[in-house]
Amino acid sequence: MRSALPKVLHRVGGRTLIGHVVEAAKASGASRLSAVVGPEREDVAAEVRKRAQDASVYVQTERLGTAHAVLSAKAALGDGNDLIVAFGDTPLVRPETFARLSDALKDADIAVLGFRPNNPQGYGRLIEENGNLVAIREEKDASEAEKRITLCNAGIMAFAGRHALSLIEAIGNKNAKREYYLTDAVALARARNLNVTVCEAPEEEVMGINDRSQLAEAEAELQKRMRKAALENGVTLVAPETVFFSTDTKLGKDVTVEPNVVFGPGVIVKDGATIRAFSHLEGAEVGEGAVVGPYARLRPGTKLGAKTKIGNFVEVKAATFGDGAKANHLSYVGDASVGANANIGAGTITCNYDGYDKHKTEIGEGAFIGSNSALVAPVKVGKGAYVGTGSVVTEDVPEDALAVARGRQAVKEGWAAEVRKKRGKAPKHD
């Protein structure tokens, strides 16, 4: 990946690669999760435990192959439970696929996940006879006939608990790399007259990530999957290919999303809301029937009530808006509470940061904040109060009061004509 970040901590859809695998395993019904990590990879272990608090983590001190990695978790293998071995860099495997592998163990001793790529070159081939898998042949060792096989090895394998540990322990390292390969378990199982079967999955589901290009491909595939789900669940996407979701994005019925919208992690949009074009949302909740954008930004901690309106070039952070409240143009509202049906005029800023600490602005129900106003927090504007246009408010405004905090206008008749006379020419306009 050419990165200081471990590969499995890179993200697609706002979630780490290994996070996808853990969540899919949990959703498939797995009763126990174990992760094998490299030395000094507490960051990877922490990500696993974040998503599965009771997961066991084991360290593979030497990299001696896939079977050796599994045996690093030997303490988790001796309880007789069925085992599925997955990879932290294969994020798009669905829970249903893990469940199918598990179900296959009712009739088989090993189940291998296979796929049929458009171009099988470079992949190990799955060789079947009479419906049973008899070998996994690496391409460099395959005959010309075997190279024509289109069913390839995805790497993910399931083992019946009664045989898992003995098979994996029997794997040797008599190969060019002197490594222990998990795929050798197939030949060992056949030698013991055990039943080995294949489950198939689509190519895009078993995509592994080894570089930034493949990371981008996985992102594109996941976005396609999430867009399809949104459309099927009653969301209108005006231009689906331009909308980007996070894996935890939640959209209600009859939500409309216009082109070029990005949903970062932690967004909830309730029924009937509209997200207009070129808006960016993260860590925000949008109420029923609300309208956001175009060109709006909702940052973490934003909570909008029903029928609120956040308009073009408005940024909201750590702020709540009551039902029907509006900030339609060119404003920043941060660390604030805005009462129901209040109106924030164009160019309004809540001055929430003093260089050291954040402070809160409270705007009451039905209050009206005139355009181009600055509310210097901490400050309260009472219910039904007005703030005059262009004001800098530094003190609390009582309910139903008018606050005007600006210099009084002075007009000097003839001043401009006098200046032109003295200078002898009209000003230039570029």
β-pairing verdict for 152-159 and 15-16: unpaired
β-pairing verdict for 132-137 and 291-292: unpaired
Residues near 323 by Cβ (< 8 Å), separated by ≥ 6?
Answer: 287, 305, 306, 307, 308, 340, 341
The Cα–Cα gap between 294 and 296 comes to 6
Angle between helices 17-27 and 42-51 (to 10 degrees): 30
State the chain's maximal CA–CA distance in angstroms.
Answer: 109
Could you tell me the end-to-end alpha-carbon distance of the chain, in angstroms, rounded to an integer?
51
The Cα–Cα gap between 373 and 350 comes to 9
Q: Which residues are catalytic?
A: 329
Length of the chain: 430
Contact between 86 and 104 (Cβ < 8 Å): no
The Cα–Cα gap between 171 and 154 comes to 19
- Residues 50, 52, 58, CA angle at the centre, nearest 5°? 90
Amino acid at site 420:
R
